[in-house]
A and B are shown apart, each in its own frame.
Chain A
Amino acid sequence: MEQGSFQGAYNVFKIIIMKKKRYICLYFQVHQPYRLGRFRYFDIGRRGGYFDDDKNRAILDKVSAKCYLPATLLLQDLVRSYPGRFKCSFSFSGMVLEQLQEMNPKVLSVFQELLSQPEVEVLAETYGHSLSALASQKEFEKQVKRHGEMIMSLFHQQPTVLRNTELIYSDSIGKYAAEMGFKGILAEGADRILGWRSPNFLYAASEAPALSLLLKNYRLSDDIAFRFSQPGWNEGPLTAEKFVHWLNAIPEDEPLVNLFMDYETFGEHQWAESGIFDFLQALPEAVFQNSDFQFITPSEVLEQLHPVDRISMPEPVSWADEARDLSAWLGNPLQDDAFESLYRLQSRVENCADEHIQRDWQKLQTSDHFYYMCTKYFADGDVHKYFNPYDSPYEAFVNYMNVLADFELRLETAASLPPALRRSFKIQREAIPHRVQTD
């Protein structure tokens, strides 16, 4: 009898284990920067218009056609085909939303349609897709708030989970997020942080235990995002069946697989011809047929799972490159000086009511500008590259600093003039006396 009851308890226990739910959390990042046009020294103080409107429009149109439209329509189909079962989450930078509003409202409405489904969750992020969390808590909070207002007005959702720019996370950023009332935050499941631990659990922030950490499973995420059509990858071509097979190979006690990636994975990074859309279309069915996994959104994860441990990231970790640190955006002298020069203007911008200045301030903070200044893969002294305006970190830096100089002048002008005159930035000054020639 004793043995029997033990057997019975074991059976119940086994059922609990067997029934223990396992989840796939899909998250897609949507962002386009406002790329700068060529801005020379001679343009400083002489013209506004920092951004290359034609180029930005062309890129937005291209990405919309190849990715945003087809991928979003496909997801709409999937949500309709598997109501309450297929789920995913998004975050949009304020930059891409502004550009869609301005230049491609049709695509925006397709996104709105998808996001109106309860199966699709939208996350918070910084408005400008900025590195502000590394510069100033105050600016970071302002941006997240500004972004939240935009999300509310466009998607009628109040995000409870935060995703910082480029998945950059540190203990300090965790504290900022918790202070703002967020319940969870997305971060990279970097090996150097996790050590022997698996990313496939929910964790808590070490400095703010109320904040849960969802860590990206970078191997499985990158199988889709990077390796999918990589020539010479011995696992290619990747099918939904094979992917589900890998999911099933994950130890049964690990309840959560976080697949975080750029949305452009679908159709832009991996072209339609690679079969990426077929893969996405087939994935839910394959998961439902051949595994115990269910789809889940980030806020649902926080309801279903409990953190198993605390994770500390004293130094910022990101999802970029092999290094998974900040070195794509900061660290070389160009990036550091540009970054410091930008945030030296912060208090002056705060005191400026001009909406044009406020909007440009967001656009100038976008992390992409600093990414263009990265010299990691640029042989020093390679003059050849310098000449291509879009192919050299030095060119990117010089151009950015000219723009910033002009922005600073506008800031001074806007601040020094009475409100009635603030709309005009050109002040006519007396000619410099020593160069007024009478002969």
Chain B
Amino acid sequence: MRVLMFGWEFPPYISGGLGTACYGLTKGLMEHGAEVLFVLPRLFGGEDAGTMRMIGAAEAELPEEFSRFMEQGKMQLLQVNTALFPYATDKSYLSGDGAMGYDATFQSKTAMGGGLTGMYGSRLMDEVFRYASLAPDIAARHSFDLIHAHDWLTYPAGMAASSYAGKPMIAHVHATEYDRSGDFPNERVMQIEKMGMQAAERVIAVSEYTKKIAIKQYHIDEKKVDVVHNGVLPGSEKPEVRVDKTFPVVVFLGRVTFQKGPEYFLYAAAKVLRNNPDVRFVVAGHGDKLLSMITLAARLKISSRVSFTGFINSDDIGQLFGDSDVYVMPSVSEPFGISALEAARAGVPVIISRQTGVAEVLKSALKTDFWDVDGMSDAIIALLQHNSLRRWMSRNGRQQARMQTWNKAASRVLTTYSKLLS
């Protein structure tokens, strides 16, 4: 089986959870014998170099196993000349999941700066359709059985390729505008999402939670939506544990945006600190709410106990998990939430909001509503106080994270493929 897959980022040059998901999923698919043609936007030399830096995958060193797959002919990376850039502005952060900033590429000033502000409305939309306009050419030059498009930026490309080649399309929903922007969505983005999901023969949602949103907010036929939970890549399970640690650490890891609910983390922190003034809170990540969160911490008079790291790379994430006693994901609406699984895999007890997809697979996490800062602070205090609870959750979380493999996710996706082709 050959799959023509449209994405927008791929390791090692990724900026969010979607790159991780594409990596894990394609790897799992190939382990099951499928072949993948992965289409990536890339920036041509010099074009817009002043405002962004996106390094084409061809120039990047791919993870070792991918080189192997490529040598075996199971995988091809195709590149399209477009300036499409997934996280054009903080507002347009699109992926629902994952730890952020795995790679330094997007930590640069040029890549993340305000230079792209405004693209969301105009330029970015142009690029989405430019990407789509190049899709039929790719479809003409390659043979494949079906099309798999990841999130709204690639739906128009998937649709174009699908109608040109007469092959069925799958829309893979990693996040929706509804998650990102709550009650104030970008209408055009929602429209494209809806078009894509309607045009697709089948829809894959990353959680039951997201499936419900597809049905309720986008009026997609329930019968055509399958749920495939994301996996977590096997990583170092023994992060560096600081031996000279003198204070408990509670961590928030993710983009500092409306969707991730960073302010609830800070409100909960203020309550915890009233109970135990020695706890240190870490807000790791960048986003359009970072400066207002720094100010909020100062207003709450808790800055002496809160550290803001900005972007951090994968090594630092490993060390951060090594430091951490509790991981909190207070997302307002989270389709999945890979980074919670990554924390669990590293043995860090996890508190997640009920408004997350990952709650469906991470049973041992403590759950609160995102707005319930009392519940959240109680949960943090309980975990810090009770070693037994922390140990139990650490062990169980680790086991549950281990079971959540991409291989398993890929076999579910293959089931969807076969439903489509039969």
Contact = CB atoms under 8 A, between A and B. Distances in A.
Interface in B277-335: 280, 282, 284, 288, 290-292, 294-295, 297-299, 301-310, 316, 319-320, 322, 325
Interface in B110-147: 112-115
Contacts of A42: 309, 316, 319-320
B246 interface: yes
A45 B303 contact: no
Contact of A41 (B90, B303, B309, B325): B309
A434 B347 contact: yes
Contact of B90 (A383, A394, A404, A434): A383
Q: Choose among B247, B282, B304, B390 the residue with the greatest number of A CB atoms under 10 Å from its CB.
A: B304
A334 B309 contact: no
B109 interface: yes
Contact of A386 (B291, B298, B304, B316): B291
User: Which of A405, A408, A435 has the largest number of chain B CB atoms within 10 A?
Assistant: A435
A28 interface: no
Contacts, number: 120
B307 A337 contact: no
B307 A398 contact: yes
Contacts of B282: 41
Interface in B192-246: 237-238, 241-246
Interface string A424-438: 001111111111110
Contact of B291 (A45, A341, A381): A381
A405 B114 contact: no
A397 B393 CA distance: 35
A5 interface: no
A435 B113 contact: no
A427 B245 CA distance: 9
A389 B280 CA distance: 23
Contacts of A429: 243-246
Contact of A45 (B90, B246, B297): B246
B32 interface: no
A383 B319 CA distance: 26
A405 B320 CA distance: 17
Given A388-B109, A431-B243, A383 B291 contact: yes
B391 interface: yes
Interface in B57-113: 90, 109, 112-113
Given A334-B295, A432-B325, A408 B304 contact: yes
Tell me which of B280, B294, B302, B391 has the highest count of chain A C-beta atoms within 10 A of its own C-beta. Answer: B294
A435 B347 contact: yes
A42 B245 CA distance: 11
B356 to A, nearest CB: 23
A336 interface: yes
Nearest to B305: A405
Given A398-B307, A432-B241, A435-B241, A409 B114 contact: no
B196 to A, nearest CB: 30
B394 interface: yes
A337 B145 CA distance: 60
Interface string A398-415: 100110110011001100
A428 to B, nearest CB: 6
Contact of B298 (A337, A408, A436): A337
Given A386-B290, A401-B307, A405-B280, A336 B298 contact: yes
A303 interface: no
Interface in A364-405: 380-384, 386-388, 394, 397-398, 401-402, 404-405
B109 A427 contact: no
Contacts of A40: 309
Given A338-B303, A383-B112, A432-B245, A437 B390 contact: no
A302 interface: no
Contacts of A341: 303-304
Task: Among A45, A333, A402, A432, find the residue whose CB has the most chain B CB atoms closer than 10 A.
Answer: A432
Contacts of B302: 337
Contact of A401 (B109, B303, B320, B394): B303
Interface string B338-370: 000000000100000000000000000000000
Contacts of A337: 297-299, 301-304
A398 B237 CA distance: 30
B387 interface: yes
B294 A398 contact: yes
Interface residues of A, number: 46
A357 to B, nearest CB: 16
A163 B152 CA distance: 64
Contacts of A386: 290-291, 310
Contacts of B308: 41, 398
B347 A384 contact: no
A349 interface: no
Contacts of A380: 291-292
A340 interface: yes
A44 interface: yes
A397 B304 CA distance: 10
Contact of A383 (B113, B242, B307): B113
A382 B113 CA distance: 9
Given A381-B288, A388-B109, A412 B246 contact: yes
Given A333-B299, A426-B244, A437-B237, A401 B304 contact: yes
Nearest to A437: B238
Contacts of B309: 40-42
Nearest to A41: B307
A386 B246 CA distance: 30
A409 B246 contact: yes
Interface in B241-269: 241-247
A46 interface: yes
A432 B346 CA distance: 14
Nearest to B248: A432
A394 B293 CA distance: 10
A385 B297 CA distance: 20
A402 B281 CA distance: 12
Contact of A402 (B307, B387, B390): B307
Given A404-B304, A427-B244, A394 B387 contact: no
Nearest to A334: B298
A435 B115 CA distance: 43
Nearest to B297: A337
B294 A334 contact: yes
A182 B393 CA distance: 64
Contacts of B322: 435
Contacts of A426: 244
Given A45-B246, A338-B303, A413-B246, 7 more contacts: A41-B282, A383-B114, A397-B294, A432-B325, A435-B241, A435-B347, A437-B347
Interface of A: 40-42, 44-46, 332-334, 336-338, 340-341, 344, 380-384, 386-388, 394, 397-398, 401-402, 404-405, 408-409, 412-413, 426-437
25 contacts: A40-B309, A41-B284, A45-B242, A45-B244, A332-B298, A333-B295, A333-B298, A334-B295, A344-B304, A382-B114, A384-B113, A386-B290, A386-B291, A387-B112, A397-B303, A398-B294, A398-B308, A401-B306, A408-B304, A428-B243, A429-B243, A430-B243, A431-B241, A433-B391, A436-B241
A-B pairs, 3 with minimum CB distance = A41-B307, A333-B298, A341-B304
